[in-house]
Amino acid sequence: MTDQEILKGALSHFAQMGEEEFNLSDGCWKIREYKKGDIYNPLGSICRYLGFTMEGYFRAYLFDKKGDEVNMFLFPPGQPVVTYKSFIHESPCEFNTVAMTDARAICITLTDLHKLYKRSHAWERFGRLMAEKAFDIALDRAESFVFKSAEQRYKELVEMHPDFINNIPLYHISSYLGIAGPSLSRIRKRISVK
C-alpha cells in the first residue's frame, strides 16, 4: 500500500471522506523523511506543515526553568504531527518538534488546505474535526495532570499506546508524563507485580 492509499484510508475513517473528495488533494501532499534527531519544526519558527506520521515517532518539547527538556506531545505512527496553534495562526512555535526515531511523514501546507476547504465541504469537515481533535488532546493532557495520579497517567498511556513502551526511551515517557525516572521505574515494577 502506498502512503497516499494509507492516508486516504485514514481520512476516510477520520472524516468520512470519499475517494473523489480525497482526490482533490492530489499534488498537495509531500513525503518528508527524517533521521533520528532531525527537526520537524524548531522553536520560534512557524509550523508550515500538517503531517501524518507514516512511520517513526516524533516529540514536541520545551525547556523548563532549569533548562531541562520537557516533552509536551508525542506523535506515533498513523497520527498527525503538527504544532497546531502555530500552523493554524501562522505564529511562532512554542515547542521544538523532532524525530525520536527515523521517521517519515506525508505533509500538506496551510495554503493547500485552505484551497481544499474552498473546494469541498468534506475538506472543511476535516478541518473542523482536526481542530476538535487538537482541542481534545490539549484538554485531556491538562486534565490528566490535575485529576490523575502518576500511576493512572502511565496506565492510560500504556492502554492507549502500548507501542510507546518498546519504541520510545523511558526517559522521554517519564518527561511526557511528568514523572521522575525513578518514580516511573517503581510504578512499572508495582504494575508488573499485580
How far is residue 104's CA from residue 6's CA, in Å, rounded to a whole number?
A: 13
Stretches in the chain below the pLDDT threshold 70? 193-194
Residue 119 neighbours by CB under 8 Å, 6+ apart: 24
21-56 pLDDT, tens digit per residue, is 999 999 999 999 999 999 999 999 999 999 999 999
pLDDT, position 189 = 84
- Residue by residue, DSSP assigns 162-191 as THHHHHS-HHHHHHHHT--HHHHHHHHHHH
pLDDT, position 193 = 66
Residue 91 neighbours by CB under 8 Å, 6+ apart: 46, 85
Strands (E), 76-161: 80-81, 96-99, 103-109
Q: Which three cell numbers stand for residue 93?
A: 512555535
70, containing H or E segment: strand 69-75
Domain locations in the chain?
A: 3-146, 148-194
Contact 75, 81 (CB under 8 A): yes
Nearest to 177 by CA among 139, 144, 147: 144
pTM > 0.85: yes
pLDDT, position 123 = 96
pLDDT, position 185 = 86
Question: Domain spanning 3-146: which superfamily?
Answer: Jelly Rolls (2.60.120.10)
Strand pairing class (49-55; 69-75): unpaired
